[in-house]
Amino acid sequence: MLTATVCYGLSGLALLLAAFQGFRRRGRSAVRWLGLALLPAGLYLTGLVPVGRTIGHELAHWARELVLDPRVWTGIGLLAGGVLLLLLSGLGRSKAAPPAPKQQRPAAQPGAAQPGLAQPGAAPKAVAPAPPAGNDLGDFSDIEDILRKRGI
């Protein structure tokens, strides 16, 4: 009896709010409140309120057992240890090829200017046009042109 009173009371309150929004000429809001007004009465008439109460009780029981039962915490520890071992065993494998050794750049001479830095009072150097690239470079000709423009 109390459940029916609460559900119908909530539906009535939502109907009042829908009417208030309708008088204020807010149609979309009035329709939204009308839709909400139908939910509590519908849940009660279909018998879903006791089902929701049972589900809530069972979830609370499960949560209480999760927190207080040492057997559950042992299971959580075993799961965490298994996942950790699986992750650690996969770290040593690498499908990628080993990286190629880096080419060493020649050491800069003390009096020479760095390629990207301008010296005060020095005129900027004109970059020599690149010779036409043959078939020997293939797809790397664009990259070579960019590097040549930067003085690398």
Domain extent at residue 74 = 59-91
Q: Is the same domain home to 41 and 64?
A: no
For 135-147, how does the pLDDT look when each residue is reduced to its tens digit (9 = 90+)?
555 678 888 888 8
What is the pTM (predicted TM-score) of this model? 0.41
Q: Is the same domain home to 7 and 31?
A: yes
Q: Is the same domain home to 42 and 66?
A: no
Q: Is the same domain home to 5 and 32?
A: yes
Task: Tell me whether residue 66 is in a domain.
Answer: yes
Q: Which residues contact 152 (CB under 8 A, 6 or more apart)?
A: 115
Provide the 3-class DSSP secondary structure of residue 69. coil
Give the chain's length: 152
Task: Tell me whether residue 133 is in a domain.
Answer: no
CB atoms within 10 A of CB 116: 8
CB atoms within 10 A of CB 7: 18
Q: Is the same domain home to 37 and 75?
A: no
The total of structural domains in the chain comes to 2
For 17-53, how does the pLDDT look when each residue is reduced to its tens digit (9 = 90+)?
999 999 988 889 899 999 999 999 999 999 998 898 8
Task: Tell me whether residue 143 is in a domain.
Answer: no
For 89-121, how does the pLDDT look when each residue is reduced to its tens digit (9 = 90+)?
887 666 666 666 666 665 555 555 555 555 566
Q: Cα torsion at 119, 125, 130, 136 (round to 10°)?
A: -30
CB atoms within 10 A of CB 14: 20
